[in-house]
Amino acid sequence: METIAVYVVLAVQWIGTAMHVIAIVLGLWAFIDAFLRPAEHFVAAGKRTKGFWLAVTGGAAAVIVLMGAASMFGLLAVVASCVYLADVRPALKMFKPVTVRSRIRKPGRGGPGTGWH
């Protein structure tokens, strides 16, 4: 029975460590994504400002690293990072640059297997 208890304790410790690492990755992902987005996109999407989200996600990442995800503040920090990733990020992705093809295919000038003859 004592051996089972030892393995249960080890499993709980590993799960806690994995949750902490995942929370850190989420926090850093949210901060880096907010940092790389243009400031105009935040305003255009109606999602506050870039500075606001940098402060929220940066503060959340710092709280998670320093206090852990299991504390009360750590849980709030994880929620803040998840709100950015689930709500703000998709709204900002709508404003990504559009790529335009540099060449237009004309009938009769396509290559083999293109269907244009």
Closest CA to 85 of 31, 48, 36: 31
Is the pLDDT at 117 greater than 70? The verdict is: no
Q: CA-CA distance, 44 to 49, in Å (whole number)?
A: 10
pLDDT digits (tens, 9 = 90+) for 84-110: 999 999 999 888 776 776 666 666 665
Q: Can you give the pLDDT at residue 43?
A: 92
Query: Domain-by-domain residue ranges, the chain?
Result: 20-93
Q: CA-CA distance, 88 to 37, in Å (whole number)?
A: 11
Q: CA-CA distance, 45 to 39, in Å (whole number)?
A: 10
Is the pLDDT at 57 greater than 80? The verdict is: yes
pTM of the model: 0.76
Q: Can you give the pLDDT at residue 90?
A: 94
Rounded to an integer, the average pLDDT of 58-78 is 92
Residue 43 · residue 49 · CB < 8 Å: yes
Rounded to an integer, the average pLDDT of 43-51 is 94
pLDDT digits (tens, 9 = 90+) for 33-44: 999 999 999 999
**CA 94 and chain centroid, separation:** 15
Closest CA to 54 of 66, 46, 42: 42
